[in-house]
Amino acid sequence: MIILKIGGSILTNKDSKTSEVDAVSLKRIASEIKKSLDSSDKELIIVHGAGSFGHPPAKKHRIGEDFDKSQYPIKRLGFCEIQNEVKKLNMYICEEFIKQGIPTIAIPASSFITAANKRITNGNLDLFKNYLHKGFVPVIYGDVVLDDDLEFCVISGDQIIQYLAVNLNPEKVILGTDVDGVYNKNPKTHDDALFFDKFSSLKDLDTLEGTTNVDVTGGMVGKIKELLYLADLGIESKIINAEVEDNIFKVLENKKVKGTVISRGN
Residues that bind a second copy (CB under 8 A): 72-73, 76-77, 79-81, 83-84, 87-88, 90-91, 94-95, 98, 101, 103-108, 110-112, 114, 124, 127, 130-131, 134-136, 146, 151
Helix and strand counts by DSSP (H, E) for the chain: 8, 14
Give the nearer residue to a second copy in terms of CB position, either 115 or 228: 115
Cα–Cα distance list, 114 to 118, 150, 164, 242, 250 (Å): 9, 11, 14, 30, 35
Closer by beta carbon to a second copy, 132 or else 228: 132
- Closer CB to a second copy, 42 or 225, in the complex: 42
Considering beta carbons, is residue 77 or 233 the nearer one to a second copy? 77
Residue closer to a second copy by CB (options 76, 119) is: 76
The closest alpha carbon to 219, from 24, 9, 57, belongs to 9
Torsional sign, CA 140, 146, 149, 151: positive
Q: How far is the CB of 120 from a second copy (least distance, A)?
A: 13
Query: Is there a contact between 171 and 138 (Cβ–Cβ < 8 Å)?
Result: no
d(CA 213, CA 48): 15
Q: Chain-centre distance of CA 29, in angstroms?
A: 15
In the complex, minimum distance from the CB of residue 197 to a second copy, in angstroms, rounded to a whole number: 37
User: Distance between CA atoms of 42 and 48, rounded to whole angstroms?
Assistant: 19
CB 205 within 8 A of CB 224: yes
Sheet of strand 113-116, all strands in order from the earlier edge strand to the far edge: 119-123, 113-116, 143-147, 151-155
Nearer to a second copy, 50 or 228 (CB): 50
